[in-house]
Amino acid sequence: MPQCLPYAIDSGLGKGDSVPYPVTDEVEHIEANKQVAQAAAEEERQRRMDEVRCLESESAIVREINIEYAIAAMETERTRRVSQHNLASVHNELLREKSKKEVHQLVEEERGRRMSQGNLAAVHDEIHREQAKQVAVMQMEQERSRRMSEGMIAQVHTELLRVQSKRAVVEAMEAERTHRMSQDAIAEVHTHLLRRNSIDKVVELAEHERSRRVQELGDQVVANQSLRLAGQAAAVEAAESERRRRLSSIEHVTTMAGISAVEGSVAPVDMKKEEEVASMDMSAPVVAMSYPDLPVASATPDVEQKALHDLTVALADVVPLPTNSNHNDDDVSKLQRIRLLRFLRGHKGNVEVAAAKYRANLVVRQEHNLDTIRDNILLGHIMTELDFPHNDKIRRYVPVVAAYDVQDDQHNVFVFEKLGAVDVHGLVVNVSDAEWLAFTLHELEFRSLALDRRSLEQGRLVRFTVLRDLDGFSLARLTRPALARLQRTVALASTCYPEYIHKSVFINTPVHSPFGLSTSTTSM
C-alpha cells in the first residue's frame, strides 16, 4: 500500500502552492473504514434487538409462571378456607353433642340423687316409725305389767304416755309435711311465675300473629268466594252444554233405532230409560279437582293448594307445572314451589297480584343475574358468608350475624343487627355502590335459599326474626348516599323476597326514637 502523507511540505513552495489533501488512496481507505464501521454498527444494533427480544420472551415466560403460581395459591387458599369451615362445623357439632351428653348425664345424676335422697328419707321414716312402734310396744308391755300390779293408776299413766307419744309422732310428721309442702310450694310458685311470663309473651306474639292471619284469611275467603262463584258458573255452563249434547245424541239414537226397526235388525230403543240415564248423569255430583300437596304446613291447606295451583297455571310460561305425585319432585322443584308460596302469602292469597309481582321479580333477577348466583350456591361454589364478594371489607363497617343454629319454637331463624355500631361514613367512602350491590345480591340469595331449605326440612314456612340493637344509633349519622343505598336494598328485597321476615324486634330503643315506644314491630 503506498504511503499517504497528510501533508506535503516543500520549503521552496509558497503559501498558495501547497499539495491538495486528501489524496485518492486515502479517500478509498476512509470509505472502506466507514463501511466496516457501518457493518459493525448494524451488527451491534441487530445483537441488541436480539437481546431485547430474548428479554421480552423471558419476561412473558416468567409472567405466565407467576400467573400459574397465583392461580395455584388462590385455589389452595380457597381449599384451606373450605376445610377450615368444615373443621369448625364439625368441632361445633362435637361440642354441641358433648354438651348434650354432659347435660343428660348431669340430669340423670340429679335424678338419681333425688331418688336416693327420697329413698333415704323414706327408709329413715320407716326406721323411725318402727322404732317408735317398738318403744310403744315396750311401753305398753311395761304398762300392762304395771297395770296388773298397780291397777287403775298404772292404766291412766300408760294412757297418758300413749297419748303423748302419739302427739309427738303426729307433731313430728306434721312438721316434716309442712316443711316439704313449703319447699314444694316455693318451687311451684317460682315455676308458675316463669311459666306465666313465658305464656304472656307467647300469648302476645300469638295475638299479633292471629290478628294478621285473621285479616289474611278474611281477604283470602273473599277471593276464594269470587273464584268459587266463577267456577260454579263455568260448571253450570259445562253441564248445560253436556245436557244439550246428550239430548242431541238421544235424538240421533232414536232416529237410528227407527231405521233399524224397519230393517228388522235392531230392537226398539226405550226412550224413557234413556231419558232417566241422561237425568242421572246430569244430577251426578261434580268431582273435585285434586291439587298437588303443599311443600309446607298450612292453616287452610285446601284454599292454599288451589291458589298455588292457580298461580302456577298463571305462570306456566315461566314456571313448570307440578305433577300430582309430589313425592317424585326433585328438591329444586320443591324449593321453587316454596318460593311461589311465599309470593302468594306475601300478597294475601291474591293470585293475580302474586303473579304480577313474580313476573316483576323475574325481570329484576334477570337484570342482576340472580339465577347465576343461585346456581353457584347450589353447586357449592359459595358455601358460607365468608365466600361473598367483598365480605371482609364490608363486615368491618356493618356488623350483622345470621344465627342459623338459633331458632324459636316455630323454627324461625334469628338475625342480629347492631345498628349503633354501623360505620355509615366508612361504608359510603370505602365501599362503592357496585361492591355493595354484589355483596347484597349474594347475601339475599344465600339467605333466601337457606330459609327455603330449612322450610323443606321442617315442613313449615321458616322466616327470619330480626333483632335490631339501637344502642348508639342516631339518624344524624345517615347521609343522602347512605339513604339512597338503603332504599335500593329495601326495594330489591321487597320485590324478590316477600314473606322472608317474621318480625323485627328493636331493643335499647331511645325514648324519642322514630321507631316509637314499642320494643317490637311485626313486619309484613
Q: How do residues 238-252 score in pLDDT, each as one tens digit?
A: 878 877 777 776 655
Q: Which residue has the higher pLDDT, 292 or 490?
A: 490
Three cell numbers written together for 405: 343454629
**Is the distance from CB of 312 to CB of 340 less than 8 angstroms?**
yes
pLDDT greater than 80 at residue 316: yes
Tens digit of each residue's pLDDT (9 = 90 or more) over 66-112 = 999 999 999 999 999 999 999 999 999 999 999 999 999 999 999 99
Residues in the chain, how many? 524
Tens digit of each residue's pLDDT (9 = 90 or more) over 118-136 = 899 999 999 999 999 999 9
Mean pLDDT of 220-229: 78
Q: Is the dihedral of CA 144, 146, 148, 151 positive or negative?
A: negative
Selection from 41-45, 202-206, 378-382 with the highest mean pLDDT: 41-45
Q: What is the pLDDT of residue 21?
A: 56
pLDDT greater than 70 at residue 1: no
Q: What is the pLDDT of residue 245?
A: 77
Q: What is the pLDDT of residue 323?
A: 44
Three cell numbers written together for 138: 315396750
C-alpha 163/C-alpha 345 separation (Å) is 77
Report DSSP state, residue 470: -
Q: Which residue has the higher pLDDT, 12 or 482?
A: 482
Tens digit of each residue's pLDDT (9 = 90 or more) over 19-34 = 455 567 788 889 899 9
* Residues contacting residue 118 through CB under 8 Å, at least 6 positions apart: none
Nearest to 411 by CA among 295, 496, 297: 297
Place of cell 350475624: 401
Sheet holding 400-407, edge to edge: 400-407, 413-418, 464-469, 501-507, 520-521
3-class DSSP string for 150-177: HCHHHHHHHHHHHHHHHHHHHHHHHHHH
Nearest to 443 by CA among 369, 374, 396: 374
Q: What is the pLDDT of residue 511?
A: 64
pLDDT greater than 50 at residue 261: no
Selection from 31-35, 414-418, 476-480 with the highest mean pLDDT: 31-35
Domain locations along the chain: 24-123, 152-283, 290-368, 369-524
Report DSSP state, residue 509: -
Band the pLDDT of 221: cuts 50, 70, 90.
confident
Q: Which residue has the higher pLDDT, 8 or 436?
A: 436
Say what percent of the chain tops pLDDT 70.
82
C-alpha 102/C-alpha 87 separation (Å) is 22
Domain 369-524: assigned CATH number: 3.40.525.10
Report DSSP state, residue 11: T
